[in-house]
């Protein structure tokens, strides 16, 4: 069964059964991201779309990955150039990334083609700060940043408000995921190699690593999830 990016509209999520009631939005995307009451995605042709009143509206430009959050609307193209949407135009930002995350913080972050991890330190002379480690996918929220590596192992670290790189102390979390996403309210979801969607329970500022994974009951297979 072919897997596409799925937009989950969370109506009821009971912690006892982890049964998810969803509303399916028509369309086909390879990657999708939601944040700050906005939804953006890209299709297999790298065309960009935003969701408005349950309809997909094409946005000028071409990107392979797009992200929306407190840091704004960001994306990377097929050549790994980085762009930010400003006043309706995609403005090139210095650097190269294969995946970017607008995050639960005010600083975008992401991974490059060599799985090196970076976050953008704002201020005069804004610059990308390299973070120790190797990840193929990286996402941040208000309590923690999570990532998955080439072996589908995943790790997390605590966030600090004064440093976009966070605590710099990685914590290995048992299990396997092919991608992971952290929302602006700290919730963490992921997709494994089988297309199953999982959520992390017990995440808070006190326990940023959470307490365990629960599989979301959903009849279709997914390759990307956002919330």
Render pLDDT for 34-59 as a digit per residue (tens, 0 to 9).
887 889 999 999 999 998 887 889 99
Domain CATH code at residue 47: 2.130.10.30
- What pLDDT does 172 receive? 85
Report pLDDT digits (tens) over 110-167: 999 999 999 988 665 678 989 989 999 999 888 888 999 999 888 888 777 667 777 7
Number of domains in the chain: 1
**8-state DSSP, 19:** B
Q: Burial, 178: exposed, middle or buried (Cβ in 10 Å; 0-12, 13-18, 19+)?
A: middle
Q: Is 59 helix (H, G, I), strand (E, B) or coil?
A: strand
Give the domain extent around 74: 4-226
Q: What share of the chain has pLDDT > 90, as a percent?
A: 45
| pLDDT (average), residues 167-191 | 87
Per 3-state DSSP, the chain is made up of helix, strand and coil in percentages (nearest 5) of: 0, 50, 50
pTM of the model: 0.84
């Amino acid at each position: 069964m072919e897997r596409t990016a799925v937009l989950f509209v969370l109506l009821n999520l009971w912690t006892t059964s982890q049964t998810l009631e969803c509303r399916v939005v028509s369309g086909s995307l390879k990657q999708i991201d939601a944040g700050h009451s906005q939804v953006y995605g890209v299709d297999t042709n790298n065309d960009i779309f935003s969701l408005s009143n349950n309809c997909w509206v094409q946005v000028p430009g071409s990107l392979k990955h797009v992200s929306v959050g407190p840091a704004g609307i960001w994306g990377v193209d097929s050549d790994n150039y980085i762009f930010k949407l400003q006043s309706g135009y995609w403005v090139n930002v210095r650097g190269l990334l294969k995946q970017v995350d607008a995050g639960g913080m005010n600083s975008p972050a992401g991974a490059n083609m060599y799985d090196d991890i970076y976050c953008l330190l704002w201020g005069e002379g804004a610059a990308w700060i390299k973070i120790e480690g190797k990840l193929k996918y990286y996402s941040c929220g208000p309590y923690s940043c999570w990532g998955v590596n080439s072996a589908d192992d995943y790790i997390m670290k605590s966030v600090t408000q004064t440093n976009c790189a966070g605590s710099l102390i990685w914590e290995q979390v048992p299990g396997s995921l092919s991608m992971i996403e952290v929302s602006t309210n700290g919730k963490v979801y992921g997709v494994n190699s089988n297309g199953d969607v999982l959520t992390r329970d017990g995440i808070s500022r006190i326990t940023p690593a959470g307490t365990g994974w629960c599989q979301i009951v959903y009849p279709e297979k997914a390759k990307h999830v956002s919330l």
